[in-house]
Amino acid sequence: MNSWNSYLESINVLAPATADVNMDPNEFLFLILPLASLVLILVAIVLVMSRKEHNIHHKELETLNELMRTGELDKENYSDVLQGLVSKRIIDEKARERMKKLLERAL
């Protein structure tokens, strides 16, 4: 049994009993810092993308509110008004479908 353990230690499968458990400074510089910076970058990307989605949704709601205040949007013409917004590239097709569902429930 002892020869088996010495063989495994020789091929670095088992750590020797006197292994040093302290972290080498190079391990910190070349492993921990890059991983931490990668996590930070990914978190920043997620936050920026969610903020962008929030701004798009806010813009759609403002457009609807403005159209309802001016009287351009009512029960009879809401579909045509939304299609006009799509053609002017103010909103996209998915936003038009969402707004249409909301307006059908509201009007």
Give CA–CA dist 58/55, Å, rounded. 5
Please give the average per-residue pLDDT across 61-72, as a whole number.
78
Question: For residue 4, is it within any domain?
Answer: no
Question: Could you tell me the two tokens for 102?
Answer: 């909301």
Question: Could you tell me the two tokens for 95?
Answer: 């936003």
How many domains is the chain built from? 1
Question: For residue 12, is it within any domain?
Answer: no
Question: For residue 90, is it within any domain?
Answer: yes
Question: For residue 22, is it within any domain?
Answer: no
pLDDT tens for residues 10-26? Answer: 665 545 555 556 767 77
Question: For residue 27, is it within any domain?
Answer: no
How much is the pTM?
Answer: 0.44
Q: Which domain holds residue 61?
A: 52-107
Q: What is the DSSP string of 11-71?
A: TTSS--TT---SPPHHHIIIIIHHHHHHHHHHHHHHHHHHHHHHHHHHHHHHHHHHHHHHT
pLDDT value for 27: 75
